[in-house]
Amino acid sequence: MRVVSGSCRGTGAILYLCIGFVPDWVKVYNFGDATTVVPITIWNKYFRTDATLEGFSNDFDNADALADHTQAEGIQPYIGGHLMDTTNQPSVTYGNASVDFVTWDYVDYRYKSGTGPHSRWDAEGETIDMWYTDTAGSYTGHFNDDVVGTYIGPGSTVCIAGNWYIITVLAAGAGSAANAVQLNIAPIAPGGKVLPSAAVSKITGMYGSCGYPVARNGLAPPGFKLEGALGVVNTSGEMFMFEAGQYDN
């Protein structure tokens, strides 16, 4: 079985998630839901009745409130092949609601402008390469420089001393002041001792995915499609995570 997972910022419109293969099943959870009910949509290739051909949605506020998705209402497998131009991909601006095709975002955004291995960066003055713990009890500390905030923010993951953590609080234009950054847990060394300082080797984007670049002038890879009617999980400006996989047979 092949399984992948990731996160994405919702657009409220038809959205193609180009994960690199056509999945047999998909689960989408809106964990950024403004009403805090955590909607979920589930699709499986074995849903073969018309009413649930493209899955069903529910939320954890009322487990009896099901919504079935027939044609053009839910999740569809996507075999790929759209040419990436400004018609098919109206925007590649990070997190923009006009992005129609998203893909994996592997960029390390901790570099200062004009440096690093990528054409996108998010450090204000110097490359971010150090973490300093300020208040271990609240999981807060700071970096050696501020972030611009275009790409790095709440939801970004950061590799500190070889281990991965999630940034839960970080405002644009901040990062170097004491307690400016909150993580999901305080960085620790083997044995559980909190690290007073440690090297930072990577910081990812806050959305986990990015628009498929038009500049590549290539064809969109396969994946799955969220129809425009699927606003329960694909809500503009709200975050969702997905799981997708293929069965062994």
List Cβ neighbours of 215 (8 Å cut-off, separation of 6 or more). none
Mean pLDDT is lowest, of 63-72, 142-151, 184-193, for: 63-72
Q: Please determine, for residue 22, whether its predicted confidence score (pLDDT) is greater than 80.
A: yes
Distance of CA 179 to the CA centre of its chain: 25
Band of residue 3 on the pLDDT scale cut at 50, 70, 90? very high
Adjacent-strand bridge partners of 6:
242
Quickly count: other Cβ atoms within 10 Å of residue 166's Cβ: 14
Bridge partners (DSSP) listed for residue 133: 141
What mean pLDDT comes out for the span 216-235? Answer: 90
Q: Can you tell me the distance from the alpha carbon of 107 to that of 207, in angstroms, rounded to the nearest whole number? A: 12
Q: Which residue has the higher pLDDT, 229 or 24?
A: 24
Residue 214: φ, ψ to 5°: -70, -30
Beta strands 209-211; 223-226: pairing state = unpaired
List 166's β-bridge partners, or say none: 157
